[in-house]
Each structure stands twice: as C-alpha cells, then as structure tokens.
Amino acid sequence: MLELRDVTVRHGPATAVHHLSLSIATGELAALVGPNGAGKSSLARAIAGTHRPVEGTIRFAGTDITRLDAAAIAARGLTHLPEGRPLALTLSVRDNLLSGAHVLGSLRRALRRLKDVLPSFPVLMDRLDQSAATLSGGERQWLVVARALMAQPLLLLIDEPTLGLGPRAARETLAVIAGLRIDGTTILLIEQNAALALDVADRVLVMGNGRIVAEGTPRSLLDDPGLARTYLGVASRPPHASREDRR
C-alpha cells in the first residue's frame, strides 16, 4: 500500500530523515515509534506531501506521490492526521466533520458519509451543533479521527494522537484507532508512547536519528531487552511470557 525507498528529508541544513526505506502492507496497523527528534513527524510530512523529500521515492497504492502536493495526495485516499489536532475551532462539529469529506467531491456525498460515520462516535453525535472549540482534548482527538474517516481513506497516517491526553483518554483513543482496522483501513500510527502503540500494532518500526533502527512484531521487539529499554522505554519481559500475561 505504501512504499518508501531511500527517502531523505531536510530542514534547511539539518537532515531529519536519512535514506529511509519502509513498506506498509494493505490492512495492517503499523506503528512508528522512537524518541523525540527521531524524525517521525518529518517523515509523516514527507509522506503527506506538506514537506517534500530531497531524495527518494514514495509510492502509494501504486502511484508515485513523491512530488505531489498535499491536496492531490489526500484526494488519492491518503489521509493525514497531523500532530496538534488542527481543527476549525470557530466552526461547528458538524462542519468540521463535513470538511473531512472534501475529497469526496460534493456536499451531498459528504452528508451521506456523515450518516455512516457518526454511529461510531456517539460523543460527537450529541455535540454536532456546538463549536469545535467547546470540546475537550480527548473529544477533539475523536473529532479528528472521525473527520479523517469521512474521507473514506485507504491509508490513515496518524501523527501523535495521544499527545497532551491523560492516560485514560490516550488508551481510549488508541482503542478507537485499533477498531478502525475492521473496515480494512491501513494505518500508519506515529506514537511517542511506545507501550500503548505496541498494544495495538501488528508491526512496529523503530526510528532513531532519522533512520529505521529496528523492525518487527511487538513481541519480537520486546524480546530484545536492550532495544526495549533504549528505544521503547518499556521493561523487557522474559522470553517465555505471552502477550496476554502482560494485561
């Protein structure tokens, strides 16, 4: 579904991403973890088209999207939920949701889509006519996710959804995200909170200093104590313990 080859991203003189390659299979939930400054958000921006890479190619659903702008990429089914949860705060919840379906091409289609998406978000259903500014942090994150779903995306690129949220809201948010896989949506989740990401992901990519330093299933990564402690910030567990034991 998404394939990066040799991608390099620069911010002025500094290089944020070095010759990075990765691939995401259709329908999987891949998590990209790593410490602050590892280049995760720069990579996300390169994929989404808001900051062009200086080298390398990005292919999405069979098309080369490296040189396309953000709107064109969104129109092809790659929906980016950027860090910071940008919302049109003076607009109503309903309008924010409808704007998410911009790529569907008509307001009528957007209204129809809204009917399909809303049932999964009862909290938003109660607040449709309120302005987005009145929502709490966790509610805003749900709005951002619901808005992204309005576009009927093939791939969701979610950047730091739990930022600024308390532990309960963070867990709920990731549960919602995990639930999206039922529709077959491919998800690339960028998350600083590695523990939470490991809970939901099929596959984990660990990023450090602009490069992928490790890759594999959550279990295989946790089996490596050095890796677990350094990059994932989680205590490694003895090899024989199963995932269920941790709950």
Partner 1 sequence: MMADVLQTLLNGLAAGAAYALLGVGFTLMFGVMRRLNLSYGATLMFGGYLGALLMAKAGDALPGGLLTVFGAVVTVAGATLAGLYVERLCFAPLRDRSGVAAMVSSFAVWMQIEALASLLLPQHTNPYPAPLDLAPLHLGALTLRAEHLLTFAVAALLAIFLHRLLSASRFGLALRTLSDSAAAAQAVGIDARRTTLLAFLLASALGGVGAWLVLVADQQVTPMFGMWSTAKGLIAMMLGGLGSIPGAVIGGLLLGLVEATGQALFGPQVRELIAYGLLFVVLVVRPGGIFGRATIDLDAAARERL
- Token look-up 């891949």 returns 30
Query: Is there binding between residue 36 and partner 1 (CB under 8 A)?
Result: no
Using the rule CB under 8 A, is 113 a contact of partner 1?
Answer: no
| Contact string 118-157 vs partner 1 (x = CB under 8 A) | --------------------------x--x---x------
178 near partner 1, rule: CB under 8 A: no
85-93, 164-172, 176-184, 208-216 -> range binding partner 1 (CB under 8 A): 85-93
Nearby residues of 132 by Cβ (< 8 Å), 6 or more positions away: 87, 88, 89, 90, 91, 92, 93, 96, 140, 143
Q: How far is the CB of 48 from partner 1 (least distance, A)?
A: 9
Q: Is 95 in the site for partner 1 (CB under 8 A)?
A: yes
CB of 238 to partner 1, least distance (A): 43
Query: Helix, strand, or coil here: 69?
Result: coil
**Cα 212 to Cα 173: distance, rounded to the nearest angstrom:** 26
Cβ nearer to partner 1, comparing 146 with 228: 146
- Of 16, 87, 188, 232, the one binding partner 1 by CB under 8 A: 87
Vertex 84 angle, CA 108 and 70, to 5°: 55
Return the SS3 of 97. Answer: helix
- Say how many C-beta atoms besides its own lie within 10 A of residue 158's C-beta: 28
CA distance 65 to 43: 14
Task: Show the tokens assigned to 158.
Answer: 């979610």
Between 156 and 206, CB nearer to partner 1 = 156
Question: What are the residues binding partner 1 (CB under 8 A)?
Answer: 50, 69-71, 73-75, 79-82, 84, 86-91, 95-96, 98-100, 102-103, 105-107, 110, 144, 147, 151
